[in-house]
Amino acid sequence: MPLRVVHVATGNVGRIALGHVIEDPRFELVGLVVSDPDKVGRDAGELAGLGVDTGIAAVDDLARVADMGADCAVYCALAETRFLEAIEDLKTLLTAGLNVVSTSPVPYIHPWDLLPQSMIDPLEEACREHGVSLFVSGVDPGWANDLLPFAVAATCQKVEKVVCSEIADYATYDGGPVMFDVMGFGRTPGDLPMLFKPGMLSAAWGVAIRQLAAGFGVEIDDVTEWFEQEPAPESFDVAAGRIEAGTVAAVRFVITGTSVGVPVFVMDHTTRLRDDLRPDWPRPAQPGGSYRLEIVGEPSYRVDVCPSSAKGDHNYAAIAAGAGRVVNAVPDVVAAPAGIRTTLDLPLFTGRGLFAGTLAPASATQTQ
C-alpha cells in the first residue's frame, strides 16, 4: 500500500518535491496546500509541471489538508522570512497526527543547544502525543554537510578536521526573497541583510556543525563566523532581478566550530552572480557550482560533488537534491519513533525502489 501524503508549497523546492511525490509509486498524493491565490483550484500535476491530471486540486487551508488522514506531510514552504509562522504550520500538521518531512525551518535539522527549549518542546510534545515524527533537511545545511561527511568518514582510521563547502553561481536562481532579503545581493556593501546580522550565520549553519559534533562524538566549545561582500563592477541582470554597479554581487562566509580551541568543523560558502568576480575565492569543480567535502585525517579526502539535471542547470539540480532527500525519507520517518528525528536517527536510505519502471525488481534471493 502506498503511503498517503499531503504536500505543502509549490515554490522552487516544493514544485520539484511535489513532482517526486506524484510520480513515485511508494506514495499517494491526497492533498495539496498553496499560498498563492492564483494557484488555488489548480491540479497538482499542473503545478508540478508534469502536465498530468491527478484529481488533487490545490487549496489554501492547511488545517483542512491536515485532517485528511494522511500518513505524512511534505512541507516545503519558505521559512527564512516567516520563521514563527512555519513553526506553527509544523505544529498544526503534527497535532493532526501527520508525520512531517520538511525543508524548513533549518534550525530543526538539529535544534538542540541552538534553539531555546521553548521552541523545541512544543514540537516534541506534539510528536509524542500523536505518535509521529518530524525530520528537517536540505542541501546545505543538509545532506552535503551531514550525510556525506559521515559516509566518507566511515572509511577513516582517524579524523582531524571536516570542511564542507558550497561554491556556486546564483545568477540563474530566481528566489528573490532569499537573494535580496536574506543574502543581501543588490544592497550596498555594509548594509547587512538578515543572514549577516550578528549570530545568524552561526545559527543557520550551527545546526550542521552541532550535528557533525554529535555524530563524531566531539564537544564544540565555540562557533565563529566571518563574511565578506564583493560589489559589482558594473550593472547587470540576473534571474532574480537587477544588480546595480557598486552593490553586492558576490559573498563568501565561513562558520567554524572549534574543540579545545582547534578548528574541527568548517562550513565555507562562496556565492557569485558572475563567474569573473573574486577569482581568489574558491572555484567550483564544474562550471556553475559544486559542493566540496574535505576531510583531514587518515586517509584524507577531497570529494567534489557536481550536481546536474536533465531538467535544468546546477541550481535546479541542487534544489532537486534537497527535495529528493526529504521525499525519500518519508517511509523511514513514518516508521521512526515519535519525536524530532535527524540524520543520526534514520537508517541509511540506499535508493531502493528508485530504479522502478526502468529495471526488473530484484528477486527475493538477491535482496537477502
CB-based burial, 233-256: b 16+ in 10 Å, e otherwise: eeeeebebeebeeebbbbbbbbbb
Answer yes or no: is pLDDT of 353 > 90. no
The predicted pLDDT at position 141 comes to: 94
**Neighbour count for residue 98 (Cβ, 10 Å):** 27
Q: What is the pLDDT of residues 18-75, one digit of tens each?
A: 999 999 999 999 999 999 999 999 999 999 999 999 999 999 999 999 999 999 999 9
Mean pLDDT to the nearest integer, 76-85: 92
Residue 365 binned pLDDT confidence (cut-offs 50, 70, 90): very low
Answer yes or no: is pLDDT of 189 > 60. yes
The predicted pLDDT at position 368 comes to: 41
Nearest to 183 by CA among 168, 161, 162: 168
Pull the grid cell for residue 157. 582510521
The predicted pLDDT at position 352 comes to: 86
CB-based burial, 172-204: b 16+ in 10 Å, e otherwise: bbebeebbbbbbbbbbeeeeebebbeeebbbbb
Residue 315 binned pLDDT confidence (cut-offs 50, 70, 90): very high
Residue 304 binned pLDDT confidence (cut-offs 50, 70, 90): very high
Domain boundaries, the chain: 3-136+321-341, 143-305
Q: What share of the chain is helix, strand, coil (3-state, %, to 5)?
A: 30, 25, 40
Q: What is the pLDDT of residues 238-280, one digit of tens each?
A: 999 999 999 999 999 999 999 999 999 999 999 999 999 999 9
Answer yes or no: is pLDDT of 205 > 90. yes
Answer yes or no: is pLDDT of 78 > 70. yes
**Neighbour count for residue 350 (Cβ, 10 Å):** 7
Residue 363 binned pLDDT confidence (cut-offs 50, 70, 90): low
Q: Cα separations (Å) of 73 from 21, 26, 104, 186? A: 11, 14, 13, 35
DSSP state of 349: P
Q: Cβ-count burial of 287 within 10 angstroms (0-12 exposed, 13-18 middle, 19+ buried)?
A: exposed
Higher pLDDT, residue 353 or 260? 260
Q: Are 78 and 84 in contact (CB under 8 A)?
A: no
Q: Cα separations (Å) of 60 from 41, 65, 93, 98, 308? A: 9, 9, 14, 18, 33
CA 46 to chain centre: 24
CA distance 78 to 213: 27
CA distance 119 to 349: 29
CA distance 344 to 217: 12
Q: What is the pLDDT of residues 98-135, one digit of tens each?
A: 999 999 999 999 999 999 999 999 999 999 999 999 99
Predicted model pTM: 0.93
Q: Cα separations (Å) of 307 from 12, 141, 174, 288, 289? A: 16, 16, 18, 10, 8
Pull the grid cell for residue 141. 545545511
Q: Are 109 and 142 in contact (CB under 8 A)?
A: yes
Pull the grid cell for residue 170. 546564483
The predicted pLDDT at position 362 comes to: 54
CATH of domain 143-305: 3.30.360
Those residues with Cβ within 8 angstroms of residue 44's Cβ, 6 or more apart along the chain or in another chain: 7, 18, 22, 29, 32, 54, 56, 57, 58
Return the beta strands (E) in the chain as ranges: 3-8, 27-33, 72-75, 99-102, 133-136, 158-169, 222-231, 236-238, 241-243, 248-259, 262-272, 289-298, 301-305, 339-341
Q: Cα separations (Å) of 127 from 152, 197, 243, 339? A: 32, 32, 44, 5
Mean pLDDT to the nearest integer, 323-341: 98
**Neighbour count for residue 281 (Cβ, 10 Å):** 16
Residue 358 binned pLDDT confidence (cut-offs 50, 70, 90): low
- Average pLDDT of the chain, as a whole number: 95
CATH of domain 3-136+321-341: 3.40.50.720
